[in-house]
Amino acid sequence: MLGFVNVCKSAGPTSAHVVARLRRIYGLYARDRKIGVGHLGTLDPQAAGVLPVAVGKATRLIPMLADQRKVYACTLVLGRSTTTQDAHGETVAESPVPADWQRKLEAALPRFVGKIAQVPPMFSALHHDGKRLYELAREGKTVERRPRQVTVYAVTLLGVESPAAARLRVACGEGTYVRTLCHDIGEAIGVPAHMGALVREASGPFVLYESSTIEEIAAAPERSVIAPEHIIPFPTIVLDLRESADFRAGRVVPLPEGAAARHVFVRDESRTLVGVGEALGALLAPRKVFV
């Protein structure tokens, strides 16, 4: 068992709970209670949408996933800010929303596109002195957090709702907190704000309309597994019996003609995926060996 699963997570479960459920599903299917399963980026419990997961030895390919862009649809709620910057936190500030809030919002959005600085929220999984920030927040503690630079590729206003809420689509890079973005947009237009609903529509090459629920995956585990070649854009080469045996043993082998990329997926004569190789001149060096 080796590949990726595009999970459609519902609001409520943590990413760790989804991984544990998939470990049971694929452990039973592959008859391997120790099968490796790992997600490619945490999705908050209250959020829904795409949660990519690596299964089996595909967990070793996670560092090779270069595309870390994300797309979210969210609700920006004006008039109240919270401790968690989302709808589940306690109220920090409230104020009336001005009648011209939509005009101010449209004027402010371009300021949040590009490389921007974000202060990570206290309710986050970042570490501080050996503890998660959310653990300190639950103890009533607040610590200083240094701003981090994140990249926002686009913020699109999808529509407005009564009395004072807007639907946004955010395309961003790794490490961006959408709820912090909502909080900061509120500050920019002079109104307390928090994030309402959040759906992750895409995570790198994984998109929502191709995702499967846990129930669908449990019903057909093998059909839900995506081959690594469909996710990571490396070409594939096939080695003969002797060369694939050498590759499996960690030895350098001749690089087949036509393999122009630096990294390639390597399959043997039976078309079994045996690893990832790196081109070193006319030679191919094993970098990840699966079999």
Q: Is 147's pLDDT higher than 90?
A: no
Q: Is 156's pLDDT higher than 90?
A: yes
Condensed to tens digits (0 to 9), the pLDDT of residues 81-118 reads 999 999 988 999 999 999 999 999 999 999 999 999 99
Q: Is 69's pLDDT higher than 70?
A: yes
In the chain, what is the greatest distance between 2 CA atoms, to the nearest angstrom? 74
Could you tell me what percent of the chain has a pLDDT over 70? 91
Residue 86 among the catalytic residues: no
Specify the pLDDT at position 124.
Answer: 61
Specify the pLDDT at position 219.
Answer: 96
Residue 144 to residue 117: CA distance in whole angstroms: 15
Q: Which domains does the chain have, with CATH numbers?
A: 2-64+208-228 (3.30.2350.10), 70-203 (3.30.2350.10), 236-289 (2.30.130.10)
Residue with tokens 């994030």: 195
Specify the pLDDT at position 1.
Answer: 81
Q: Is 133's pLDDT higher than 70?
A: no
How much is the pTM? Answer: 0.88
Residue 261 to residue 20: CA distance in whole angstroms: 36
Residue 40 to residue 63: CA distance in whole angstroms: 9
Q: Is 137's pLDDT higher than 60?
A: no
Report the run of H or E that residue 247 belongs to, with start and end.
helix 241-248
Per the model's pLDDT, the better-predicted residue between 198 and 138 turns out to be: 198
Q: Is 3 left (phi over 0), alpha (psi -120 to 50) or beta?
A: left
Closest C-alpha among 46, 44, 58 to residue 6: 58
Per the model's pLDDT, the better-predicted residue between 243 and 127 turns out to be: 243
Q: Is 258's pLDDT higher than 70?
A: no
Task: Report the number of secondary-structure helices (H) and strands (E) in the chain.
Answer: 6, 19
Geometric angle at alpha carbon 10, from 2 and 79, rounded to 5° = 135
If you average pLDDT over residues 229-256, what whole number do you get?
A: 91
Condensed to tens digits (0 to 9), the pLDDT of residues 179-235 reads 999 999 999 999 999 999 999 999 999 999 999 999 999 999 999 999 999 999 899
